[in-house]
Structure formats: C-alpha cells, structure tokens
Chains A and B, each alone.
Chain A
Amino acid sequence: MRKLSDTDRVRLRIRLLLGLMLFLQGGILAFLWNLQVVQGHTFQDQISSQSLRRVRHPGHRGRILDRNGMVLADNRPSVGIALYPEELRLPGRQSRTLDRIDALLDEISEKIGMPRTLTREQVARHYQNERMLPLLAWRDLDDRTVARWAERVGPREGVDLLIEPVRFYPLNDLLAQTLGYVGRGGMADPDEGRFHFQIPEMEGKAGLELVFDGMLRGEAGAELVRIDVASYKHNVEVLVPPVPGYDVHLTLDARLQNLAERVLGTETGSIVLMDPRNGEVLALATYPRYNLNDMVPFISHTVWNTLIQDPRRPLVNRPVREHYAPGSTLKPFICLAGLLSGQVTEDTTYTCHGSYQPGPNAAPMHCNNRFGHGTLDMREAIARSCNVYMWRLAEDIGYDPMFATLEGLGAGQKTGIETDFEVAGILPTDAWKRQRHNDILRRGDIANISIGQGFLTTTPLQMALMTATLANGGTHHTPTLLRGFRRSEDEPLERPDPRPAPVAKNWDSNKVEAIREGMLGTIMGDRGTGRNARVDGLAYAAKTGTAQYGPPGNRRYRSWMIAFAPYDNPRLAAVVLIDSGLGSGIDAAPRMQLIMQALFGINRSEAPRG
C-alpha cells in the first residue's frame, strides 16, 4: 500500500516539476511579447539613434625633464590620415571591404600626391586584428599636403584626419639608453566592446619611459561621437575627460650629461657623475648611443637591424648594465677594509720588491713597477697604486673583512637606481666559486681580488656609489635619477614611495681620512699615478685603474678613473671607464681632467653646480 502511494507521489512530483518548467517558459514568452511586440518600436527608435561611436582617448603623456626643467622627452602633434575600417565594412566577403579600402587608398594617394604607405596585406592584417584602432594611412603630413587633402578629398565615410601626439626627444641621442623610448601600445583591455575605436596610445618600451610608464601615461577618457550615415560628426560628447600623465623630473643635469657625452667622445665606455651629498645622479653617459627620434613612432626594420647587429651594442646602458673588473680603483676600498678590520693602521708599511708569491709553489705575481716601490705606507700605496702592498695587506687581514667592507659599500648588489636592466656585478664568495668553478676561493683568487682583478666585477654606477660614500665620509645614499612627479608647474614634486633613508657607516673619521689622503696623493702627489690629470686651482682626489681582460696577451685594458671633488667639501663623485682602452693614464685620466676642468677649473666654461 505504502509502496504504491510512493510511486504515485513520485509521478505527481515529476508532473509538478514539468509544470514549473513550462510555466517558466510561458513567463519568458509573456515577457518577450511585451518586449518585442508591445514595446518593439521604442527599441527600434533607440537603435536608429544609436549611430554613436564610443572612442577611447588616451591621456596626454607626461614629459621627462632634467633638474633645471630642460625637456628631454616631449610630445608633438602629428597630422595623419586615418581610415576607420569598421565604417568601411561592406556586407559579404571580407575581400569586398579590402577592395574598397584599396581603391580608396589609391584615390587619396593620387589626390594628395603622396605614395601609398600601406600594402593590401597590412590593411588586411589590421582589419583582422585591430579593427578598433584607426588605421593610419599617412603620418606626419606637411601643411601643403593637408591643404591638398582639404581641397580635393575632405572628410568622408570612414576616412578623416587624425591628429596624434608623437613622442619627441629634443636632444636626440642625449641620455638615450637611460631615457628609453615609446612605441605604440596594444589595445586596451578587451572589455567586451566598450569602445568602437581607440586612439592609439603610447607605451614605454625601454628605459625610464618604460620604468615610469605608469606615471607618464594618463588615464584614458571616453567620447561619444554622433555620426550620421555619411560619417559626418554631428557632435562630440565627452563622457569621461582624459587625465594627463605626470611629468617626470629627473635629478639629471642635461648640461653635465652633455659634457660627459662630449668628453667620452667616440670611445666605447661610460661616465657617471653623482652628487655624493645625496646620491642624486647628475650624468649617466655612455657611447655608442642612438637617436631616440629614430625609435618613434615605431622602429623601422633598418634601424633596428643596424642597432642589434652593431658589435658595440649601442642598445646597452653600460653604466648600469655592464660589469667589469674594477682594477686598481678598488684599492682604496681594500685599504679601508684593512683599517676597519683593526688589523692594520694607516701607518702600516710593506716593502715592495716588484713581485709577490701567493703560495709556496705558486707562480710569482708582478707589481706594476717591476723594480719595486720600496717601503710604502698606506697613503703612498694608494697614490702610487702598489700591487704588492695590497697583496700583503690582503694576506694579513684575510678575505672576510674585505668581503664585509665591499658588501657594505654595495658591491655585488643592485644599487636600486630606477633604470631598467640594472645588474649586480659579482662579489665572489666560496659558494659562488663552487657553483661556477667547483672550487673555493684560494689565496691567488683573493690576491687578485685585492687589486680589482679576477672574479670581482662592478658596474660603473657601483664604483660611483662607492666613491661617493668615501667622499662624504661614510654615508650610503641610494643612487637616484628621480626628483619627483607633478602634473603642472605649480604643484610640488612628489615621489610615490620615499627614497630609502641614507645609511651612516659610522666609520672612524681618521681612518677614512687616510684613504682620502691616499686618493688625494694620486692627483697631487709627486709620484701619484694621476698627477697628469691635475687641474689648476682645484684639489681633488682620485684613483686610476687599468684592468686586464680578455685572453692573456690582450693589449687592451679597462681604463678606469674614479674621483671626487673638491677635496675638502666634495660635491661631485665621478667615474670614467673606457671599455677597451690603452691604459688609465692614456684614456681615462685626461677625460677626468676635462670634466674637472669644466666644472671646477679656473677657466671653466660651465659653472659648477651646488
């Protein structure tokens, strides 16, 4: 009895369920009747008034300026002729539409007297992939062409003038690798058809243009353009106004940058100028460079191929992206390590006979003076760049204090400057060498490191940072290129995230002073290795370095010079590096002398900063 009633209940329930389902469909039909038949005409009206075009406008891209307000990256208007493929669409096969566009391009080309720039394949590709973007058929038209356009063609369905901002670098190749360049950005988020058209947006592709892209780029706005069948714009209603991006103000000084680049000339290398009082980078020069205006609005194949096939690799921002053996410029810091370890003093002397044997069976290593420097104290060892002194010192203090001091100065770590692609260089450890060479650091390795040869490498910027820290008596400032952002002149400069606080090393000032005196001796001492780089009326401190690289017997060297000036109250820390030079005294010292002469010399042409 119960069983039967159960089955009946189940059958009833199935019928009820079906009833509910059919009821729902009925409800939908009733709704549709109302929507389609009763109210149908109101929707038809709405649609016919809907020849509104939603256009996305990118915000005005911010500029990049140097510390004195000189514009390094700007925008200029460029008039072009744009096709709006959506409007040119014909029903039926795509080839019909392409035929139409083809014919249109030929016609305009003849009337304005400019050869076609787009092939049918390019048009087809754009039509397939980026129909939302206007297709620029001609760019950068001059006034006469624009006049011919207005006279003979005029706006018509699917074609119109488009005024587009194009990035412009007034100083061409100045600071090229650091500034970087923009390219055309991709389409905005595929927010499912919110926009019919997007005005192309610039997007940072390299350098600071890329790093600060988020700040430089404004926020896109939206416009409703009412268009009739003949494609005339009736009115334009701004829905959301675009917001301009921020101007980026750099610490960099275009005049110093220009000086550095001129001094570097056509030697592959780097020059870094930094303010030791606050870590602000004033110049970041390298050669070879490229003209940034060749990179916008897009990079042609010819330009790109030339750049990447150039063996000197002009795209590389050497001061931050390359790391080299620092050579003898490391010696002051090795001596500093000795002093800080407490195992030696500035008066500790070693005697140089011209060579040194790192181990009982090891081959002897030679000093730069084959006949020996004799007995030297630390100041003199720095000024005269004695290898044997460093080797003996390193042997006495061991690697640990060297490592600790160099690490504290920033070796082996990225400095944290804002450029892209910064590298850390190498501060070797046992673990590092085991991984690379399946061995630990041996006495010979440590001896090599103590004179800046061997495994240890630094970037020019790192050397500038270490020099700055020595110059200011032991305060580590994170190097920066950025003063701040602002939208207009009357706003204060702002940094979204504050700079890392300076770190005071709390070094004993007597000890630092000894090192600084050694470097002073390089320039001012009778037998200093940099005495040829003296500048009348200026006392400054420096260290030369000539590092071997490449296969044994290579007659080319990394020619280095680090310096800070003026000696008493340093406002400048400078690094000159010639990648493939003949020796510090030949390539680096004269260049350092030119810089110091220009900035601090009696007959200087440019006023020093600060």
Chain B
Amino acid sequence: MDSLLKRFKPLLKLDWVAAGATLSLLALGVVFIYSAGYGRESDQWLKQVLFILIGLPLYLGVAMFDYRRLREMAPVLYVVGLILLAGLFFFGMSIYGAKRWYNLRVIFFQPAEIAKVAVIALLAVWFGDPLRNPRRLRSVMPPLVITLIPFALIAAQPDVGTAFILLCIYGAMLFVSGTSWRILGMFALVGVLSLPVAWTMLRPYHRDRIMVFLEPDRDPLGRGWNVRQSQMAVGSGGLHGKGFRQGTQNLLGFLPTTVAPTDFIYSVIAEEKGFVGATTMLMLYSVIFVALARSALRCPDPFGRLLIVGILAMFCAHVTINVAMTVGLMPIIGLPLPLVSYGGSFVLSTLLALGLAQSVHLRTG
C-alpha cells in the first residue's frame, strides 16, 4: 500500500494551478454542451463526460511518464504520424468532403492530433540540441521541412485550420530557440509574400469564407449565415448574458445545431453568460498560458523547455483562433475550442499534450 502511494507521490508536485484551470474548463465545457443540446434530447454532454473520465487518467499517466524518453521516441512518433496522415487519403472517412478522420467505431480518430505532438517533440529535440547555433539559417531550415511535410498532408485533407496551427508551433519554437531577428524577419517576409500563392491553393469555399469575413453582408443567408448568427448570438449576450439555457440563438436553431456544441460553443457561452462569462473563459485559458510559460521558464533542460513552448503555442493558437472566429474577428476555419468543445478525439489529445507539459514540470527543480 505504501509502495503504491509512493509511486504516485511525484504527482503531488503537479502544477496545480494549471491542473485546476484545466479541470474548470472541462467542467464548463460539459455544462455548455448540455446547454447547446438542450431541447434536442442530445446526449452529447454525457459522452463528453465519458471522454473526460477516460482523459483524466491519461493526463495523469502522461504526467508520470518521463518526458525525456520522448527524445528517442520522437522520430518514430513522427514517422507513424506521417504514415497515418498519408493513409487517410485511402482509408479515411469523408465528412463534408474532407478526409480527416479514421472511423474507429467508438471514436473518430484524427491523426493530425498525433502529428502535432510529434512535430512539437521533434522540433524540441532539434532546437534543444545545445551544439546547434540557432542563429544560423542552416540550423533552422531542417525543422521547417519537418513542419511542412505534415503541414502539406493536413492542408490537402483539407484542414487548413489545423495546418495553420503547425505553422504557429514552428514560429513559436523558432522564436524561443533564440534565433536571430534577421531570420525571423526574413521568414515573416516570405510568409507575407506567399499569401497570394496560398490564396490560389485554397478551396473555393475557403475563399468564400474569407470574402464573407471581409464583406459580411455578401451572402447573409448562405456562407455568411454562421458568422452572422454567431456574432448576433455573442453580441446579444450583453454584459451578463441571457442566462443558462436561455440562449435564443442556439435554442431556436439560428445557430446551426451541428456546430453549436463543437466549433461554436464559445458563442453559446457568450450568449448565455454575456461578457462576464466570455471574459471568465479567456481568463481561465490565460491562467493556463501563464502556468505553462512559468514551467518553461524554470525548466533548465532545453528539450523540456521547448516541449512546453510548443504545447503552449499549439494550445494558445487553438484558443485564440477559435474565439476570434466565433466572435467574427477572423474568417471561419473550423477549429474546435480546446477542453470545452464537444469531441472525444480532441479532448483526449489536448489532455495528453497538457499532461506532457506536467511531466516536464514534475521533473524540474
């Protein structure tokens, strides 16, 4: 009994602030998934509870796992991720014309989730090597290639949102690796210059969404519908919101029922809990950002540090992009809100990534 307790003793040193914020967000997610499905007899909230019950042991288990062993595993994980991504084109399940998932019966498994973690791990190995001078162009190009291969595979599914997350991860880790401002500036310039090329490669419906964003009244009943309704939901929430389960936009089906509990959950929250609720959510996320950054700051091991930075970048990019698009600050690119949106595969992978950050935290100092 004692020995069993001893095994779990390291868990006492968890970053409790981050863990607390994580749990709060998960709980709020369930509450608002319930609200979004209210009146439809939807049991999605119950499924979400189930996924969380599976996810929390995973979170703790990954925290117990020594992240340093990931150093050797990273290339393997990366290759497996690429193979799974490529396999999607043949065995993937097609939903609305995009092949992003494997249908594993119990769960729709999205290999992009593995690919993101694998890219973070492999970039952390590369940038964490003290023998490399991050100020040399030579040492920042290979990780770019490492990022762009899964980027291309994911963008071709097409899943532009997730592909974009990979670029954010690369940017953040490159930045933290201590590279020169000259290189950063150059990449930024190349990025801006390649925008026209990217535009031509986008699918027509993506272009429509961007056009609608730039000109919201362009097609108010068609492409512009979701953004407009979402923005109306958020805006009509006011300071205090309409009250739990009272969001008329959601309840009356103006906010499409297919996306309310997933990508647009934030607008359900903002409608029902108003500015106060919306702010609270962002605060809880910011708590996690700060906690992760603090863990990174006190970590002496460059590999662990970069690992956390990558996870932080991924997490923050997801949150920012999702919130910005639901409130109408960004074109819709279809990314869920971490920890809160309905979806088993994404809950599990987010908890896995945060657990990995905890693993670094546990083994520091």
A interface with B by C-beta (< 8 Å): 6, 9-11, 13-18, 21-22, 24-25, 28-29, 31-33, 35-37, 39-44, 46-47, 50, 54, 86, 89, 91-94, 190-194, 196, 222, 239
Contacts and interface: CB of A to CB of B under 8 A. Distances in A.
Contacts of A92: 39
A10 B176 contact: yes
B111 interface: no
Contacts of A40: 235-239
Interface in B227-276: 231-232, 234-239, 248-249, 251, 253-259, 270, 274-275
B316 interface: yes
Contacts of A191: 222
B99 interface: no
A212 B93 CA distance: 31
Contacts of B258: 190, 192-193
Interface residues on B, range: 35 or more
A28 B234 CA distance: 12
Enumerate the 6 nearest inter-chain pairs by beta-carbon distance, A residue then B residue, closest first. Answer: A43-B235, A193-B256, A18-B293, A40-B238, A43-B236, A36-B275
B176 A13 contact: yes
Contact of B178 (A9, A18, A29, A32): A9
B238 A37 contact: yes
B241 to A, nearest CB: 9
A25 B282 contact: yes
B214 interface: no
Given A14-B309, A31-B327, A192-B225, A36 B270 contact: yes
A17 B239 contact: no
A287 to B, nearest CB: 45
Given A42-B235, A54-B221, A25 B285 contact: yes
B235 A89 contact: no
Nearest to B177: A10
Interface of B: 38-41, 96, 172, 175-178, 221-222, 225-226, 231-232, 234-239, 248-249, 251, 253-259, 270, 274-275, 278-279, 282, 285-286, 289-290, 293, 296-297, 302, 305, 309, 312-313, 316, 320, 323-324, 327-329
Contacts of A190: 96, 258
A35 B327 contact: yes
A49 to B, nearest CB: 11
B176 A32 contact: no
Contact of B235 (A28, A36, A50): A36
Given A37-B275, A43-B234, A193-B253, 17 more contacts: A9-B178, A10-B305, A11-B297, A14-B309, A17-B172, A17-B309, A24-B320, A28-B327, A29-B282, A35-B235, A40-B236, A42-B235, A44-B238, A47-B232, A91-B251, A94-B40, A194-B225
A35 B254 contact: no
Contacts of B175: 13, 16-17
Contacts of A6: 178
Contacts of A192: 225-226, 256, 258-259
Given A10-B178, A190-B258, A193-B256, A15 B327 contact: no
Contacts of A17: 172, 175-176, 293, 309, 312-313
A14 B39 contact: no
B221 A222 contact: yes
Nearest to A6: B178
B275 A33 contact: yes
